């Protein structure tokens, strides 16, 4: 059972006792609007297993929360960290291609990652890319 409302309703109609899957941790997250005149892009990368099939995606939103654009890209075999980094690079590339200069990039790969030191290096690399694009 995936704990969806539809599945629960089906089980209730069939008088089947539900055994919902256990959620290891639930964290409430609040999305913050970007400042006026800015776009915010939330990106994520995902992998199926260690060094498995990966993909990345992102969604661009205005300061009023409206969707300005989105992307989803299959990446082939890679590590999760590579998928996360690819999502950030693609987001910056799309923003540049569309002329969106005020961009707030939000990703989740910095916390608790075994390659935390590499994140600092990648942040500097992304900053260098942005400067080179100007």
CATH number at residue 95: 3.30.420.10
pLDDT in tens, 38-56: 999 999 998 887 788 999 9
- Domain hosting 37: range is 32-133
31 pLDDT tier (thresholds 50, 70, 90): confident
Structural domain count of the chain: 1
Q: Which two tokens stand for residue 77?
A: 């075999």
Task: Tell whether 61 is covered by a domain.
Answer: yes
* Separation between Cα atoms, residue 133 and residue 125, nearest integer Å: 12
Contact by Cβ (8 Å): 24, 35? no
Contact by Cβ (8 Å): 54, 75? yes
Give the DSSP per-residue string, 60-103.
EE-TTS-EEEEEEEEEEEE-HHHHHHHHHHHHHHHHHHTT--SE
Report whether pLDDT(112) > 50.
no
């Amino acid at each position: 059972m995936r704990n969806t409302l539809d599945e629960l309703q089906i089980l209730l109609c069939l008088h089947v006792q539900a055994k919902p899957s256990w959620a290891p941790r639930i964290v409430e997250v609040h999305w913050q609007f970007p400042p006026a005149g800015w776009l915010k892009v939330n990106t994520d990368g995902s992998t199926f297993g260690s060094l498995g099939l990966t993909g990345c995606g992102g969604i661009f939103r205005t300061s009023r929360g409206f969707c300005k654009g989105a992307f989803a890209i299959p990446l082939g075999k890679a590590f999760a960290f590579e998928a996360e980094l690819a999502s950030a690079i693609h987001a910056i590339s799309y923003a540049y291609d569309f002329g969106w200069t005020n961009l707030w990039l939000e990703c989740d790969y910095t916390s608790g990652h075994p390659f935390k030191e590499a994140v600092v290096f990648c942040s500097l690399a992304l900053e260098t890319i942005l400067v080179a694009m100007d």
